[in-house]
Amino acid sequence: LQPFAGQNTVAGFATASFGAVDRFLGLLAATLARWQEAEGHFAAALAMNTRVGARPWLAHTQHDYAAMLLARGHSTDQPRARALLDAAALTAAALGMQALADKCAVMRAA
Beta strands in the chain (DSSP E): 8-11, 16-20
Residues 19-46 have pLDDT tens digits of 999 999 999 999 999 999 999 999 999 9
The reported pLDDT for the residue numbered 53 is: 94
Integer Cα distance of 105 and 88 in angstroms: 10
Paired residues of 8 in beta bridges: 20
Side-chain-facing half-sphere of 84: CA atoms under 13 Å: 24
The reported pLDDT for the residue numbered 50 is: 96
The reported pLDDT for the residue numbered 66 is: 98
**10-residue stretch averages of pLDDT, the chain, 110 residues long:** 87 83 97 97 97 96 98 94 97 97 94
CA distances to 21, 64, 66 from 43, rounded to whole Å, are 12, 11, 11
The reported pLDDT for the residue numbered 16 is: 85
What mean pLDDT value characterizes the chain? 94
pTM: 0.92
